[in-house]
Amino acid sequence: MANTAVDLARLSAMDAREAARLLKGVRAAALAGDRLPAAPRPEIAESWRRMLAGGVHPDRDHRSRILSAAEMEERRHLSPLRQVLPVLREGLLPALDEALHIMVVADAEGRLLWREGASSILRKADRLGFAVGAHWDEAVVGTNGVGTALVTRRPVQVFSAEHFVSSHHDWTCAGAPVHDPRDGRLLGVVDVSGPLATMHPATLAWVSSVARLAEHELRVRHLESLERLRSVAAPLLARLPVGARALAVDPHGWTAAVTGLVPADRIPLPKSFGPGPTWIPQLGDCTVEPLPGGWLLRIDGAARHGAAASRVVLDLSRPGAWTVTVYGAAGSWSQELSPRHAELLFLLAVTPRGRSAAELAAEVFGDASRTVTVRAEMSRVRRHLAGVLAHRPYRFAEDVEVELIRPADPGRLLPHSTAPAVVGARLGRPGAGVIP
């Protein structure tokens, strides 16, 4: 049995080199099956057992394939953690240079998406393979502040030889998971890492508190999105017949507005979910229609089966005030468009057959290889226009009538745009904006 236990207070009271020697002795004894000079912390012991069972080599530094620039761009676009980067930066970056640390943000698979901090430590991290795009899952690189926090779903601090792989022993790291407050889904980990000499037991509490601030920011954003959905849904619900039962929910099933039934905080939505007739366990037979940022669910007699949307009006006539209006069985709703989304919907409106991601990339950016960016933007558009927009290729649905309202002066069409197809349409070139 071990003589004493290793804990954060004991490690922090020791000289860094002395602490490293102690931890290396504990690790060596654990690997050899010998009597331990001290008991590793429970979370570290559990991780070591996983490493031994999984065949991770304790002295072989495995480097994963770095993601390509396109793969990185796509992951960053799709990660909800992108929304809370300002919170993470504000909470961590001001102290990192002085503390000789770096901040790393990883997704739920352990891929490093963002990395900032002291330049000298960034260079050392590069030599370790602790770089943007690298895979730091525990099963790949052993016990560490990113991968172990992902496995345990709890904040974890790893000092020196508590890292299972020996090449990491000159480092200390503290990682805390970030969860989506809407459904509890693990989004990733924020980690602070630096040289062993900079270790401090308070680092874990610091990183954990900033991770909680990030979750709070996501919660605030969620409440704001529900309020926006409520403002759209309330007039639609008010126009339904007396006795009708319906509610508006966001993509995760959180209720924004309701009529004719007792409101529930959240409705579990089926995995296969979209516009049209759908059976929902908690509600029964429903007709589902898309709304900006959510869905309208009409129940039983309140439902009128048929297409979720019958007509779309894309109004690009006023510079800087571009809108899309969708007409459905329960009424209509409108949404303002960003400059990029206005460009994309214009290109689809003038090409009924649709366009591939490569075609859109060529027409918007003049570069057919920028398909990752196009797919990310179209994913955002389709969140609000599900049932109106189809894909493979991207196009308006066949049963939806599309009306495009252009400016009276063709030269005022999307005046911000440098997209080749839009520029051609402004100049009145024959066939501009249409791929044959």
Task: Say if strands 311-315 and 401-405 run parallel, antiparallel, or are unpaired.
Answer: parallel
Task: Say if strands 38-39 and 171-179 run parallel, antiparallel, or are unpaired.
Answer: unpaired
The answer to whether the peptide bond before residue 319 is cis (omega within 30 degrees of 0) is no
SS3 45: helix
* Dihedral angle computed from the Cα positions of residues 240, 244, 249 and 254, in that order, rounded to the nearest 10 degrees: 140
Q: Is 107 exposed, middle or buried (0-12, 13-18, 19+ CB in 10 A)?
A: buried
Sign for the pseudo-dihedral over CA of 364, 365, 367, 370? negative
Compute CA distances 412 → 111, 320, 360, 415, whole Å: 44, 10, 21, 5
- pLDDT tens for each residue of 4-57: 777 766 777 777 788 888 899 999 999 998 998 888 988 999 999 999 988 999
Whole-angstrom distance, CA of residue 67 vs CA of residue 72? 6
Strand partners, 409: none
Please give the distance of CA 290 from its chain centroid, rounded to a whole number: 22
Length of the chain: 436
pLDDT of residue 269: 84
Helices 202-238 and 85-99 cross at an angle (nearest 10°) of: 170
pLDDT of residue 1: 42
CA triple 174-128-161, angle to 5 deg:
55
Rg, the chain, Cα only: 27
pLDDT of residue 429: 62
| Cα Dmax for the chain | 85
pLDDT of residue 434: 40
Residue 257 phi, psi dihedral angles, 5° rounding: -155, 155
SS3 252: coil
Cβ atoms 82, 380 nearer than 8 A:
no
Amino acid type, 242: V
pLDDT of residue 331: 66
Whole-angstrom distance, CA of residue 384 vs CA of residue 291? 6
SS3 224: helix
- CB atoms inside a 10 Å sphere around CB 275: 19
| Residue 329 structure tokens | 């069985």
Cβ atoms 58, 166 nearer than 8 A:
yes
Q: Is 307 exposed, middle or buried (0-12, 13-18, 19+ CB in 10 A)?
A: middle
Cβ atoms 241, 302 nearer than 8 A:
yes
Output the tens digit of pLDDT for each of the chain's 436 residues.
446 777 766 777 777 788 888 899 999 999 998 998 888 988 999 999 999 988 999 998 888 889 999 999 999 999 999 999 999 999 999 988 778 899 999 999 999 999 999 999 999 999 999 999 999 999 999 999 999 999 998 999 999 999 999 999 999 999 999 999 988 889 999 999 998 887 777 899 999 999 999 999 999 999 999 999 999 999 999 999 888 999 999 998 999 999 998 888 888 887 777 888 888 877 888 999 999 999 999 997 544 444 456 889 999 998 778 899 888 765 677 778 888 999 999 999 999 899 999 999 999 999 999 999 999 999 888 877 767 888 889 999 888 899 999 998 888 899 878 899 998 998 876 444 443 3
Q: Which stretch of DSSP H or E encloses residue 171?
A: strand 171-179
Q: Is 297 exposed, middle or buried (0-12, 13-18, 19+ CB in 10 A)?
A: buried
